[in-house]
A and B are shown apart, each in its own frame.
Chain A
Amino acid sequence: MSGGDTADRIRRLLETEGEAVKRSTTTFNQGRYQRLAELEHHEQLRDRTRAIKESAIEHLPELLDQVTESVETNGGSVHLAADATDAHRVVHEIVDMYDAEVAVKSKSMTTEEIGLNDALEGAGVEVWETDLGEFIIQLADESPSHITAPAIHHSQEEIAALFAERFDLEEPLTDAAALTRFARSFLTERIKEADIGITGANFIAADSGTIVLVTSEGNARKCVALPPVHIAIAGIEKIIPSIADLDPFIQLLARSATGQDLSAYLSLFTPPVDTPVPTFEQPETPIEELSDERSFHLILLDNGRWDLRADTDLKETLYCIRCSACANSCANFQHVGGHAFGGETYSGGIATGWETGVHGIDSAAQFTDLCTGCTRCVPNCPVKIDIPWINTVVRDRLNRAPADGRFDAIYRGLRPTSEAEGISIQRRAIANVDRLLRWASLTAPVSTSLTETRPVRLLAEHFFGIDRRRTLPQVTGRRFSRWAADRESVQAPRRSVVIYPDIYTEYVRPERGKAAVTLLESLGIAVEVAPVVESGRAPLSQGMVKQARTRAAQTLDSLRPSLGADSDVVVIEPSELGMFRREYSRLLGDESSALAERSYELFEYLFDVCEAYDTSIETEANGHAIYHPHCQARTLGIETYTTSILEMAGLDVQTTTAECCGMAGSFGFKTQYYDLSMAIGESLAEEVEGAEEAVVLASGTSCLDQLTAVTDTEPIHPAVWLAKQR
């Protein structure tokens, strides 16, 4: 899809679905934070779920044998389906076996994945979705926009209008309770008629053959209890050794999904179940005289999962328990929903892994760029999947894939045929932003005036997809490291640090660096500045892993002399610290662990020094501050140090809750994502509004750019603000 098409599609979805999606996802998101904060041993539970899933996927062949034996011993049948077509074949055989005419389903993304409803209808079977969200989707003939709340993109009014139209109602139903009653009574009749009930499975216990379903409406229970035949369809990754392993998953799942302690029903079925089969056509029959003859078929679906299991980088996808926390904690998803941030079936951050695995990489190609690598999903994933890394890897593979019409013709014409085959000029320009900044710095202020001219902006938009509505960074000729080189060092320092000069501090915001030096020196810390080497963040964000690895190695080399016993590295830009602490272990392995251990974000370091030397940073200032923490800082759990220092300095600090500012490095500059980026920025602006007297603070260079663009305030880096007070 071209950049223009992408922009149009996103704009349309922002208008039609954005509001409803945002309302629900942000409610889920806040609920999750509240519930998980109350949960003791949260991290240990995540470690346990992770360990169980790792082991289960490792031992999948044995577990498959075991579950087959258990289900067959219980009296059911197990079918292994290689792909969607194979699964359809199995279902057709079962349908024929029982002469089924009507099937009812409870919610299952796996059946969405294989297009089961169409296959059943093709075989002459009437199918009804009984989960109310899926029922809406079925009536509207749409695809789910969210993996747990499929109709999240519809407002109540739209649902009422849909029901009125589909059921020819004279007056639309006016409230949620009436809509629910109507759907319940319609679907109750369908479930009574049904020959087959189809469910998915959240978990399957291998040792007992138990199907575990986490639901709240009661429809899955009815789909199992009423029809005489039960088909459960699940991916092979759903198998866990035993019911005994459920505890950590159940403690985390509903909290992570909807912000509930538990969903209304955690159902365990070891089918065929012994509930008598009600015969609604013979209402006089006493329940105790009903037959308990039931059939059960378990269809275990591969559809690319074996290959995922063998894929070192994407294997983690199989640990996913489909809670949707990665979607709900994602600023992009919150604003545009799964119809943009999703492929054929799955949506949200982890969907890149699922779509690549089950539908192929082209399905992921259309949305993986919507992962900006902000990492807010990382601490929120109950099975600790590194979702940004999955997105990076898939982007890297797409970059290497032969062009197949994914890019504008203009880009294709310009693309060289070297190893950069497949990488758009937009990606390459962003990956090499350090060179652009250095060139602009050398020629500033001419370059700055020039880049703001209309012809240059039009060319930049045309060739690089840099949206002309964005203000470009104001590059300065007065580089931070040059300023620092001329300074005298502190006499008899307490400690020594080396500041890592990220390219934004170096070329665009040297005042951050100067303020950092001032604050550190005021606490008796000697400061040196390391050579300027781009950390690899820029190419990594574009999925250029090889180039990122080279830059990472160069950065590590440049900092290695500073990693002695009596020196630390101080980082100003939080996303660079994210590189050192998270991504470098992926790129460089254990070699980078010394850097990860010895580097600190500026305020983290200031706080530690204040604690260690029983000193403080005091100012004459007082008043109110609104502080927007950088997404990476929040993931690293270091934003509280900034708050503490600001409070120490006399401010009353209010922290924003936005997961990300929406600029996210280069994301907001890209023409195709400008509208989405601005929509996210406007949500952030709402948190800043109405505080005219407050000082607005943000640590990230992108966050500062975005806050400048979307508010009337003059946002400032907290170090710069502090240095000015002294």
Chain B
Amino acid sequence: MSELIDRFLDNLRAHAGDGTVTSSAKLWADLKHVIEPPAITTVSLFDRYDIDAPAIDANPTVGELEVAETGVTEASLGIARYGSVILQGGIEGDELISLYPTRHVILLPSSAIVEDLPAAISQLTTAHETSVTTSIVATGPSATADMGELVYGAHGPTEVHVLVVNDR
């Protein structure tokens, strides 16, 4: 398992992202190091991970979305081969929180890391057969080469940090 996590993190770094391993018990302590305030997230993420963190706004307004430096969301899957994560949208605005702020912090349960793309595609197939309407396979931060050289941080986040939660 830890070999899979290591590979995931190595490949994430190779694609201009960053990541660290944490546990449910250490989650809040580790989150503090990787968020840049103001930070926003969703209520259900707080509930699922049992976090109570006043520094992260779990019920942001549209105005707070616009000025947030950090968005914290959960990934439904990680792909070890590329260091990619699958981000699912939903009625709480996960897609907005993932996309708008400069820094995106992603919680990834270690049990959700798969080896390669084919496993991820089959998960996406199932998800979109049911109620999921937005899935993003994100590999590193947003990027563009249109201005003459590679720049990280185009319309989406400039920095991506994945916290792999190793007891989930």
Contacts and interface: CB of A to CB of B under 8 A. Distances in A.
Contact of A180 (B121, B124, B129, B144): B144
A264 B143 contact: yes
A442 interface: no
A288 B144 contact: no
Interface stretch (B28-36, B47-55, B57-65, B107-115): B57-65
Contact of B62 (A24, A155, A176, A282): A282
A131 interface: yes
B19 interface: no
B159 interface: no
B90 to A, nearest CB: 6
B37 interface: no
A270 B133 contact: yes
Contacts of B135: 267-268
Given A264-B143, A275-B93, A287 B151 contact: no
A244 B122 contact: yes
Contacts of B153: 177, 180-181, 184
Given A246-B121, A274-B91, A159 B133 contact: no
B147 A156 contact: yes
Chain A interface residue number, banded: 35 or more
Interface in A248-296: 250-251, 258, 261-276, 278-280, 282-288, 290, 292
Given A225-B96, A274-B91, A261 B139 contact: yes
Interface in B61-84: 61-63, 65-66, 81-82, 84
Given A131-B146, A159-B147, A288 B59 contact: yes
B128 A208 contact: yes
Interface in A210-224: 210, 216-219, 221-222, 224
B25 interface: no
B133 A187 contact: no
Given A180-B147, A261-B139, A265-B138, A244 B121 contact: yes
A541 B81 CA distance: 44
A280 B154 CA distance: 21
B136 A217 contact: no
A130 interface: yes
Nearest to A27: B145
A267 B96 CA distance: 14
A276 B91 contact: yes
Contacts of B63: 283-284
B152 to A, nearest CB: 9
Nearest to A268: B135
A660 interface: no
Contacts of B138: 264-265
Given A242-B125, A261-B139, A288 B134 contact: no
A653 interface: no
A250 B97 CA distance: 26
A176 B30 CA distance: 33
B89 interface: yes
A216 B15 CA distance: 12
Which of A132, A224, A274, A283 has the most CB atoms of chain B within a 10 A radius of its CB? A274
Nearest to A106: B155
A133 interface: yes
A657 interface: no
A217 to B, nearest CB: 4
Nearest to B92: A288
Nearest to B121: A247
Contact of A284 (B61, B136, B141, B156): B61
Interface string A671-683: 0000000000000
A188 interface: yes
A265 B144 contact: no
A151 interface: yes
A218 B154 contact: yes
A250 B129 CA distance: 19
B155 A133 contact: no
Contacts of B136: 221, 265-268
Given A130-B155, A156-B148, A217-B155, A244 B125 contact: yes
Contacts of A225: 89, 95-96, 99, 134
A530 interface: no
A188 B121 contact: no
A520 interface: no
Q: Chain A contact residues: over half helix, strand or loop, or mixed?
A: mixed
Contact of A279 (B62, B143, B148, B150): B62
A378 interface: no
A161 interface: no
A156 B146 contact: no
A132 B121 CA distance: 29
A262 B82 contact: yes
B146 A149 contact: yes
A7 to B, nearest CB: 30
B62 A280 contact: yes
Contacts of A180: 144, 146-147, 151, 153-154
Given A225-B96, A275-B93, A275-B95, A268 B124 contact: yes
A282 B15 CA distance: 37
B166 interface: no
A155 B145 CA distance: 11
Contacts of B84: 262
A261 B63 CA distance: 36
A467 B92 CA distance: 68
A199 B122 CA distance: 25
Nearest to A151: B146
A250 B59 contact: no
Nearest to A282: B62
B71 to A, nearest CB: 11
Contacts of B117: 247, 250-251, 262
Contact of B129 (A130, A188, A208): A208
Which of B15, B65, B124 has the most CB atoms of chain A within a 10 A radius of its CB? B124
A273 B131 CA distance: 10
Given A225-B96, A264-B139, A280-B62, A188 B155 contact: yes
A225 B82 CA distance: 25
B62 A285 contact: yes
Contacts of B90: 274-275
B66 A280 contact: yes
A243 interface: yes
A100 interface: no
A132 B149 CA distance: 12
A247 B118 contact: yes
Nearest to A217: B154
26 contacts: A131-B146, A132-B146, A132-B147, A133-B144, A159-B148, A184-B154, A208-B129, A210-B128, A217-B146, A217-B155, A221-B155, A222-B155, A244-B121, A244-B125, A246-B121, A247-B117, A262-B15, A264-B142, A265-B137, A267-B136, A270-B128, A274-B90, A276-B96, A284-B63, A286-B60, A288-B43
Given A265-B138, A274-B91, A284-B63, 14 more contacts: A132-B147, A159-B148, A177-B153, A181-B153, A217-B156, A218-B155, A246-B121, A264-B142, A265-B136, A266-B136, A269-B134, A271-B133, A278-B65, A280-B62
Sort A-B residue pairs by CB-CB distance and give the 3 closest, nearest first.
A218-B156, A283-B63, A156-B148
